[in-house]
Structure 1
Amino acid sequence: MATETTPLTRSSADELAAGLDALETPVVAEHAPWWREAWRSVWPVLAALATLVLLWQVAYLLELKPPYALPSPADTWTAFVEAVRDGTAGRAVALSLQRAVVGFAMSVVVGVALGVALAASSFLRRALGPIITGLQTLPSVAWVPAAIIWFQLSNATIYAVILLGAVPSIVNGLLSGTDQVPPLYLRVGQVLGAQGWTRIRFVLLPAALPGFLGGLKQGWAFAWRSLMAAELITMSPQLGTGLGQVLAIGRDTSDMALVVAAIGLIFLVGIAIELLFFAPLERHVLRARGLTGRVSTS
């Protein structure tokens, strides 16, 4: 049965043109004030920390452990304030952060180079991929005795432990990001003449960046944990006193308040790095790729 075709009137043609123009209009992401985004990221963390402190106080009042094993939040706060007042906390945080940043930067350089090599060569990935994954599952503290034998009690020992702990996570994060790149991107790059390093530099790595950010965050977490393991064991006046060494001092002197204060500092530094560096970086990358899901209503 034949169907009649409705003639295209001028008004309907104008509506169609307007609709096509709307499809071509770029979507503009909303940019909330920085303080609002910062507060939106910080207040859930503060609420969770307040809940943990409340539960801690309840456990102390119920005497689930003796006071020497479970100090009160007030006693721990006193130990923390004393460490801040005499400069121990500031020097320890500064030294540990310096080591962590340098070690993480070295890990990123090595991890990206190795990850690109494995992503570009299926043979290398089949040969080294399981080894990289196996190294990632190995506890960082297992490398400390070997690193001490190799480099004695020096900063090289600490950096070696950070590298061995963080590089596998960065490599696997980069490989995971490249695996998520749509094949169409690679074919378009090939059509445009992108080959070899040009293809990797301008097509593969930029397309893998959103997925790779997760690998970088995990790599930082492994670097920070590896650093604490190394500092906890490598006690030497030549190395200075980082957060791990403060933790070891509290253990050796049976000062549980100092131990808990050091754990709290390690924890807070980790949260601060996430909120001040990785979270803004991730938001920027996702917003630039149009993956935030927020559009302008103006």
Structure 2
Amino acid sequence: MPPESTVASPGSSLARIASPAAESGTAPAVSDAELRSLASGLDRLQTTGERSPGRLRAIAAGVVPPLVFVAVLLVAWQLYVAIAQPRPDIAPGPLDVLSAFGTAWDSGRLQLAVGTSLERGVVGFLIAIAVGTPLGLLLAEVRPLRRAVGPIVSGLQVLPSVAWVPAAIIWFGLSDATVYFVILMGAIPSIVNGLISGVDQVPPQLRRVGTVLGAGAFAQATRIVLPAALPGYLAGLKQGWAFSWRSLMAAEIIAMGGTIGFGLGAMLQQNRELADLAGVLATIILILAIGILVELVVFGPVERRMLRRRGLLVGGTA
């Protein structure tokens, strides 16, 4: 009789690995390559039969609707100004705001403010990720520590980060450390709670599979639990970025002078002191545009890729 043919598949790999453990009661030693093969095989099973759309079509589907909506708003705004003819210092039109953009660009204030705020926002957010990720994983895995520290983290998330600005000024003075401290206090609680929420939704069967495959506590946390908790973790990252960006603007508006550089918050406050409503609206629109751009360019593609790998995204819709 010819030898029985074998087909390498995630199910057969799992059965082959788990069978000795079920018979002998011991966990076999399994290489990292087999763990990765099993995970990638399951992902392929979930996404079989789906055809990903073209890149340009996917970008157009995400960008065109917001652009159309913004164009409609601008047309309605311009019609209101043309028909009602309000005072320009109370209700400036789109052309006045565009002129304020041009003035800020020609003076170099716009480039300086955007560069300063983006640098602070990105650096502060990366530090928040580096601190919040291990802290969130620790609180999610160690129940006594979570019961002790979890309510405090949730309370910090509810606390408006602008409340930290006066204390940060007293501690660090008018320096960039004040701004970064406010960013961290706004972003870290959201990242921690998002990761904890994602870990709570991990099916217990995955932990059992990790135990059968011989994964230790650290390997389970980093190779099984953290990837499985990715949807909640990504939601926490998105919320953490939103809080860090808001915290940054609050800190820049209040903490001005000293060694603190000129950011978008300082530009907004400067236009307010000059009673330049067109400049104020131009700065607000710019702050909003940067937030939307980060969502579309950074978090949007990452989220779509994650959903597609898990078989939760059909075609190009999200």
What interval of TM-score do these two structures reach, taking the shorter chain for normalisation?
0.7 to 0.9
2:176 maps to 1:155: yes
Evaluate the alpha carbon distance shift between residue 26 and residue 223 of structure 1 in structure 2; reply closer, same or farther with a 3 A threshold: closer
| Greater mean alpha carbon deviation, residues 146-155 or residues 120-129 | 120-129
Q: Matched residues in 1 for 2:264 and 2:250: separation?
A: 10
Q: Matched residues in 2 for 1:234 and 1:99: separation?
A: 14
Structure 1 residue 64: deviation in Å? 9.4
Q: Are the counterparts in 2 of residues 100 and 224 from structure 1 also a CA contact under 8 Å?
A: yes
Structure 1 residue 293: deviation in Å? 2.5
User: 5 Å matches for 1:159-170?
Assistant: 159-170=180-191
Structure 1 residue 58: deviation in Å? 4.4
Q: Are the counterparts in 1 of residues 179 and 248 from structure 2 also a CA contact under 8 Å?
A: yes
Q: Matched residues in 2 for 1:26 and 1:38: separation?
A: 21
Q: Counterpart of 1:265?
A: 286
Q: 2:92 aligns with which of 71, 79, 101?
A: 71
User: 5 Å matches for 1:5-24?
Assistant: none
Q: Counterpart of 2:14?
A: none
Q: Matched residues in 2 for 1:121 and 1:25: separation?
A: 32
Q: Counterpart of 2:66?
A: 45
The alignment partner of 1:261 has SS state of helix
Q: Counterpart of 2:15?
A: none
Instruction: Tell me the alpha carbon deviations over residues 198-235 of structure 1, each in whole angstroms, 9 at most, x when there is no partner.
Output: 11011100111122111111110001000000111111
Q: Are the counterparts in 1 of residues 47 and 311 from structure 2 also a CA contact under 8 Å?
A: no
Q: Counterpart of 1:86?
A: 107
Q: 2:222 aligns with which of 158, 182, 201?
A: 201
Equivalent position amino acid for 1:81 in 2: G
Q: Are the counterparts in 2 of residues 107 and 167 from structure 1 also a CA contact under 8 Å?
A: yes
Could you tell me the TM-score, scaled by structure 2's length? 0.81
Structure 1 residue 288: deviation in Å? 1.9
Structure 1 residue 54: deviation in Å? 3.1
Q: 2:267 aligns with which of 246, 251, 256?
A: 246
Structure 1 residue 186: deviation in Å? 1.0
Q: Matched residues in 2 for 1:206 and 1:98: separation?
A: 29
Structure 1 residue 30: deviation in Å? 2.1
User: 5 Å matches for 1:171-190?
Assistant: 171-190=192-211
The alignment partner of 1:239 has SS state of coil
Q: Counterpart of 2:10?
A: none
Q: Are the counterparts in 2 of residues 29 and 287 from structure 1 also a CA contact under 8 Å?
A: no
Q: Are the counterparts in 2 of residues 232 and 247 from structure 1 also a CA contact under 8 Å?
A: yes
Q: Counterpart of 1:35?
A: 56
Structure 1 residue 131: deviation in Å? 1.2
Q: Are the counterparts in 2 of residues 177 and 212 from structure 1 also a CA contact under 8 Å?
A: yes
Could you tell me the TM-score, scaled by structure 1's length? 0.86
Long gaps (5+) in structure 2: 1-44
Q: Counterpart of 2:213?
A: 192
Equivalent position amino acid for 1:161 in 2: V
Equivalent position amino acid for 1:35 in 2: L
Equivalent position amino acid for 1:186 in 2: R
Q: Matched residues in 2 for 1:25 and 1:182: separation?
A: 17
Q: Matched residues in 2 for 1:133 and 1:110: separation?
A: 16
Evaluate the alpha carbon distance shift between residue 107 and residue 64 of structure 1 in structure 2; reply closer, same or farther with a 3 A threshold: farther
Evaluate the alpha carbon distance shift between residue 140 and residue 58 of structure 1 in structure 2; reply closer, same or farther with a 3 A threshold: farther
Q: 2:75 aligns with which of 51, 54, 58?
A: 54
Q: Matched residues in 2 for 1:210 and 1:281: separation?
A: 10
Evaluate the alpha carbon distance shift between residue 287 and residue 26 of structure 1 in structure 2; reply closer, same or farther with a 3 A threshold: closer
User: 5 Å matches for 1:230-241?
Assistant: 230-236=251-257, 238-241=259-262
Q: Matched residues in 1 for 2:158 and 2:90: separation?
A: 31
Q: Matched residues in 2 for 1:126 and 1:237: separation?
A: 41
| Greater mean alpha carbon deviation, residues 148-157 or residues 87-96 | 87-96
Q: Matched residues in 1 for 2:307 and 2:50: separation?
A: 10
Q: Matched residues in 2 for 1:177 and 1:26: separation?
A: 22
